[in-house]
Amino acid sequence: MAYEGILLGMGNPLLDISAVVDDAFLDKYDIKLNNAILAEEKHLSMYDEMSSKYEVEFIAGGATQNSIKVAQWMLQIPGATSYMGCIGKDKYGEEMKKDSTAAGVNVHYYEDEAAPTGTCAVCVVGGERSLIANLSAANCYKSEHLKRPENWALVEKAKYYYIAGFFLTVSPESILLVAEHAAANNKVFMMNLSAPFICEFFKDAQEKVLPYMDYVFGNETEARTFSRVHGWETDNVEEIALKISKLPKASGAHKRITVITQGADPVVVGEDGKVKLFPVILLPKEKLVDTNGAGDAFVGGFLSQMVQEKPIEDCVKAGCYAANVVIQRSGCTYPEKPDF
């Protein structure tokens, strides 16, 4: 089977500015652990404060880009994956390009003339992370870039598509173009709930794309927010996974499968009116570095098996393996070769 360009991701390429902080810092900027938000006016000074006050690491990030890089790492087939998003013409943008290309991903960035490359503050306390994204250039992605022949060729070539829910705040029209192509050509289109605020404040954009989603990923907090926003009156993650899998679909070619992670608790898979639970690899607390990128890595591992048409058990197992590797390191990083 030819794997070149089989998996395409689109999203917000961000440079993670990661540091272990303290509770006082979280309180000062009104930050909750295990959450992801967009930066507001009150957060803008925190990036400099982090750099001056704590030991910061700069790591190429962005949810979709993380997942695509992990899938690429697990596959070990150069050019199996492609990625699009918008960066700035600056040193962070150059770093991002170097990092992703070194990872073996075929990146086609749209480069914005004016806006700086987006950044994401990763505040870690006790191994748990909170994300505050300042999208900047990432917010400037335009569907015109996607429609250029050299970029649309990546869409034509791919058989699997993955887009984090975060991209709904940037270019819903680009998402729909890819989703419609996938449905018309019996390809597999996948998204992530990504964050409670996406389910809550970008519900309409999410609803428009939902019928096209063959796979829906998310974590337990996002699933519960989704349930509440849809008036389902249940907090039961297994029930929610099933309900999401039964929502209407644009094309009958693929049934929808919902995959919900729950930290150290089992992964919930809802399909065909049934729920399966898969245990994760447990990690002693002292080995946990941070959970930044854990969910992204899970998806990346999962996708690496899916594009090889492996059964769902293998996909989940690979997802759990990749997440286990990433939480023992800072940010969404991994050793040279997988041991899966």
Q: Which tokens in the block code for residue 329?
A: 């390191």
Query: Could you confirm whether 272 is annotated as catalytic?
Result: no
Question: Which residue shows structure tokens 């419609």?
Answer: 180
* Closest by Cα among 236, 258, 226 to 245: 258
The residue annotated as part of the active site, out of 48, 296, 314, 339, is 296
Which amino acids are annotated catalytic? 296
